[in-house]
Amino acid sequence: MKDCSVGTELPPLTIEATPTFVVSTALATRDFQDVHHDRDAAVQRGSKDIFLNILTDTGLVQRFVTDWAGPEAFVRSIKIRLGVPCYAYDTLTFTGRVTERDGDDVVVSVSGVDSLGEHVVGTVAITLGGE
């Protein structure tokens, strides 16, 4: 059985936020806002470059936790708060640790950091599945 005691650190996950990554995740989440795929439009709106959308952050946070918890962990909730943007060409590193444990119910706190600072913080509640 996986160690899920409070304080357990998750293995970090590093994401290279290439332009391809930013654009393909925006479109795979059906988010067609121009700032996520059109660099000229993003710059015109005051951004440095295209940047990750929030639906992708939710997906990445889920992946980060289930990569560790196993394919049958049941994801109950994903709560995230956004900080600095994650622009194309940046690198995003997720870290996390178990903050609550009640039987099979586990809460993981997650932080995703890029070169500008904390891009996303949040908590994921899961129920552990069979292994």
Partner 1 sequence: MSIQEAAERIAARGESAPRAARDAVNQAMVNNWVEAIGDRNPVYVDEEFAAASVHKGLVAPPAMAQVWTMGGLHWTRASDDPLGAMMEVLDEAGFTSVVATNSEQNYFRYLRHGERVAATAKLESVVGPKRTALGEGWFVTTKTTWYVGDEAVADMVFRVLKFRPPSAGPAKTAAPVLRPVISKDTEFFWTGLREGELRIQRWGETLRHPPGPMPPDGDFDAKPDYVFACGRGTVYSYVVHHHPKVPGKDLPFVVALVELEEGVRVMGELLDTDPETVRIGLPVEVAFVKIDEELTLPAWRVAR
Chain residues in the site for partner 1 (CB under 8 A): 15, 21, 24-25, 27-32, 45-46, 54-63, 66-67, 71-72, 74-82, 129-130
Q: CB-wise, 21 or 89, nearer to partner 1?
A: 21
Q: Nearest approach, Cβ of 15 to partner 1 (angstroms)? A: 7
Judged by beta carbon, residue 92 or residue 98, the one nearer partner 1 is 92
**Using the 8-state DSSP alphabet, how is residue 35 labeled?**
G
Distance of alpha carbon 117 from alpha carbon 103, whole angstroms: 34
Helix (H, G, I), strand (E, B) or coil at 96: strand
Backbone angles phi, psi at 23, to 5 degrees: -75, -45
Distance CA 47, CA 39 (A): 9
Q: Which is nearer to partner 1, 113 or 123 (CB)?
A: 123
Shortest separation between residue 40's beta carbon and partner 1, angstroms = 17
